[in-house]
């Protein structure tokens, strides 16, 4: 083969790739550095590093005083963890049954799962809200019920994706392990928890990450279901901020940083799984 | 043998019922109920309709004559084209480039993908600061190059650009990862054979890579189109209520606006039906144009 020379074209390629990388990283660095500056300094010279006189914690102090950030984090993490846990359990059970059992309705049910991916949240949210209101879950004063009112539809919204990914994986598992477990006296429930679940761990991780992030970032449902201040999750809080504190740019920069930085830290450690989780649905189905 | 374990069908219900009850109650039933709702009178959110509209199809008459609907449809179509050309196009170029380099491919992948993980609402706030009139990052940056008057990025002239650029930017990394995965599946031997036959690098991309990527690109385009219809968080954070002058509505944000702000709930339902119909039509069109091929 012809020797590839490290030439002008190669440098051009690196240059363009680095340029795009800068557009993805710099805005985030920019907002973090400005979160440590007074509001008017952001408007004057936002490119300077917050050193010396420029540096201040005032934005963060205001953020923690005026906004219930910890409360919002607590709500977000609670909602998303519950969604994630329920999705994993229900989708895991359903996928196992859909793959291993042969029964009449199997293909119909699988079609139902695939079609379930097509429903946008826009098309279901109004009836779900009125249904939950009539059950006394949505629109109440109780924190627990409000949480429940958003967890339920979010679980339903993630099940299709989860079942498609998990059943694809379970189908590829050799059945011999299940057979030997059966010979040792395991019933199907035990086989599921003792054989299938441990073997399917990587796919469960994929599904877990996807449904957690999806629920965490989903502003639309939060606008409908979390209407009381103490129930607000983090994206809802951010949205509130734009309408109420629209001109306090320092506060905005600080809050955005407080939301982005934890995600960034988690991303650095789990990026392999996160990227896989977010693209799995695309590649498989 | 395998069939023996699973011959007893009793546990089936235990396995299947929970998931399918969820899907029936929270997806299928509301989906059809929503279609029904769009013909009914609903006084406020959280209440279900009791009476039919007079005439029953009145929301759809309103839909056809509502100027905002046409704005929203137009903007959504532009958004679809922007996502196809911008997201998939840029992702393809970047992916082809990364395929040529030896070092750093992983780093680029990690960096490019990051915006997808961040909530679009946070990015909306971030871009509000970037596009701030007096004076955000962009106007300060342009001033460095001697541009004196400030640009109002949120006025009628620039609003659509300002709204769509961040949406496009956020998801490039997503398609980048998918396309790179597709590129890695193409065997190196094909390229070597082509190189021996004297094909230049550009020719190899055109006659070899692109045809082999056809199905991957189809998947990307379908995802980009369905994604464009679901966009809500970023536009609503940057341009709430369709500002300026209701010119930036997308079908999703307009549906939210009618249901939550105007509180015309049954009209919101009708708009949701429109979104579904639009989704079906667009994915049909895309499938017809970019048909997947079997090799």
Residue A51 counted as domain residue: no
Amino acid A285: pLDDT: 36
Instruction: Identify whether B228 is part of a domain.
Output: yes
HSE-up of residue A204 (Cα within 13 Å, Cβ side): 16
Q: Which residues in chain B come in under a pLDDT of 50?
A: none
Note whether residue B61 is domain-resident: yes
With a cut of 70, which residues of chain A have pLDDT below it?
A: 1-6, 246, 281-285
In a domain, B158, yes or no: yes
Task: Answer whether B97 touches A (CB < 8 Å).
Answer: yes
Closest-CA residue to B245 (of B68, B66, B125): B68
pLDDT attached to residue B29: 94
Is residue A214 domain-resident? Answer: yes
Contact B34 A163 (CB under 8 A): no
A55: β partners: A37
Closest alpha carbon within chain B to A13: B97
Angle at which helices A249-284 and B210-230 pack, to 10 degrees?
130
Residue B39 counted as domain residue? no
Q: Hey, how many other C-beta atoms are within 10 angstroms of the C-beta on A51?
A: 10
Chain B residue with minimal CA distance to A120?
B230
How far apart CA B111 and CA B106 sit, in angstroms, is 9
Q: Distance between CA A221 and CA B83 in Å, rounded?
A: 23
ipTM (interface predicted TM): 0.87
Residue the block writes with tokens 């809050």: A255
A1: which chain B residues are within 8 Å (Cβ-Cβ)? 192, 195
B32 lies in a domain?
no
Q: How much is the pLDDT for A97?
A: 92
Decide if A23 is inside a domain: no
Peptide bond before residue B135 is cis, with ω within 30 degrees of 0: yes
Query: Looking at residue B146, what is its pLDDT?
Result: 81
Q: What is the pLDDT of residue B294?
A: 62
Question: Does A30 reside within a domain?
Answer: no
Tell me what pLDDT residue A5 has.
55
For residue B119, what is the nearest residue in chain A, using CA coordinates?
A: A217
Return the CATH number at B242: 1.10.3720.10
Indicate which CATH number applies to the domain containing A239. 1.10.3720.10
Domain contains B91: yes
- Asked if the structure places residue B118 within a domain, the reply is yes
Q: Mutation target for A interface from B22, B205, B249, B254: give the one with most A CBs within 10 A.
A: B22
Q: Which of B13, B23, B131, B286 to mutate to test the interface with A (most CBs of A within 10 A)?
A: B23
Chain B: give the shortest CA distance to residue A180, in Å. 10
Whether the CB of A278 is below 8 Å from some CB of chain B: the reply is yes
**Domains held by chain B: number:** 1
Domain count, chain A: 1
The answer as to whether A50 is a domain residue is: no
Look up the domain containing A167 and give its range. 70-284
Q: Name residues 17-46 of chain A within 8 A of B (Cβ).
A: 17, 20-21, 23-25, 27-28, 30-31, 34, 42-46
pLDDT tens, residue by residue, B58-90: 889 888 899 999 999 999 999 999 999 999 999
- The minimal CB distance from A101 to the residues B12, B237, B265 is found for B12
* Tokens encoding A231: 């129930």
Of A20, A25, A268, give the one whose Cα is nearest residue B92. Answer: A20
Domain span holding position B206: 54-289
In a domain, B271, yes or no: yes
């Amino acid at each position: 083969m012809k020797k590839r020379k490290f030439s002008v074209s190669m440098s051009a390629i690196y240059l363009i790739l680095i340029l795009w990388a800068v557009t993805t990283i710099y805005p985030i660095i920019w907002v973090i550095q400005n979160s440590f500056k007074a509001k008017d300094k952001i408007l004057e010279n936002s490119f300077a590093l917050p050193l010396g006189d420029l540096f201040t914690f005032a934005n963060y102090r205001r953020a923690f005083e005026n906004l219930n950030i910890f409360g919002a984090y607590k709500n977000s993490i609670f909602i998303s963890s519950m969604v994630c846990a329920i999705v994993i359990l229900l989708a895991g059970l359903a996928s196992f049954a859909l793959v291993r059992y042969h029964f009449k309705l199997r293909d119909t049910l699988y079609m139902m799962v695939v079609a379930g991916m097509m429903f946008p949240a826009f098309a279901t949210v109004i009836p779900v809200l009125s249904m939950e209101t009539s059950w006394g879950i949505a629109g109440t004063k109780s924190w627990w019920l409000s949480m429940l009112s958003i967890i339920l539809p979010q679980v339903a919204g993630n099940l299709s994706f989860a079942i498609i990914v998990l059943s694809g994986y379970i189908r590829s598992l050799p059945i011999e392990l299940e057979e030997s477990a059966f010979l040792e006296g395991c019933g199907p429930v035990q086989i599921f928890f003792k054989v299938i679940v441990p073997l399917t761990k990587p796919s469960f991780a994929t599904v877990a990450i996807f449904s957690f992030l999806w629920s965490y970032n989903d502003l639309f449902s939060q606008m409908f279901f979390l209407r009381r201040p103490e129930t607000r999750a983090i994206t809802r809080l951010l949205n509130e901020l734009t309408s109420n504190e629209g001109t306090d740019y320092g506060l905005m920069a600080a809050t955005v940083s407080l939301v982005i930085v934890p995600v960034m830290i988690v991303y650095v450690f789990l990026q392999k799984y996160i990227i896989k989780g977010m693209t799995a649905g695309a590649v498989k189905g | 043998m395998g069939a023996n374990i699973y011959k007893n069908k009793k546990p089936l219900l235990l396995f299947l019922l929970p998931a399918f009850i969820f899907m029936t109650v929270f997806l299928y039933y509301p989906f059809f109920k929503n279609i029904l709702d769009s013909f009914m009178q609903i006084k406020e959110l959280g209440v279900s309709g009791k009476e039919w509209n007079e005439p029953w199809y009145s929301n759809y008459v309103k839909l056809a004559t509502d100027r905002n609907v046409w704005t929203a449809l137009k903007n959504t179509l532009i958004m679809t084209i922007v996502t196809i050309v911008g997201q998939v196009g840029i992702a393809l170029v970047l992916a082809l480039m990364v395929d040529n380099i030896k070092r750093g491919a992983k780093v680029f992948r990690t960096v490019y993908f990051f915006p997808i993980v961040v909530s679009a609402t946070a990015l909306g706030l971030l871009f509000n600061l970037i596009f701030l009139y007096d004076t955000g990052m962009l106007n300060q940056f342009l001033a460095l190059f001697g541009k004196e008057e400030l640009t109002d990025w949120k006025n009628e002239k620039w609003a659509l650009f300002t709204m769509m650029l961040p949406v496009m930017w956020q998801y490039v990394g997503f398609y980048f990862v998918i396309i790179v995965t597709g590129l890695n599946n193409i065997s190196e031997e094909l390229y070597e054979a082509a190189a021996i036959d004297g094909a230049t690098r550009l020719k190899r991309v055109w006659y070899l890579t692109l045809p082999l990527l056809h199905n991957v690109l189809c998947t990307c385009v379908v995802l980009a189109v369905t994604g464009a219809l679901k966009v809500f968080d970023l536009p609503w954070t940057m341009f709430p209520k369709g500002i300026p002058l209701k010119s930036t509505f997308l079908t999703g944000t307009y549906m939210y606006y009618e249901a939550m702000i105007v509180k015309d709930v049954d009209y919101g339902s009708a708009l949701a039906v429109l979104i579904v119909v639009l989704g079906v039509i667009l994915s049909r069109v895309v499938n017809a144009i970019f048909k997947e091929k079997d090799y």
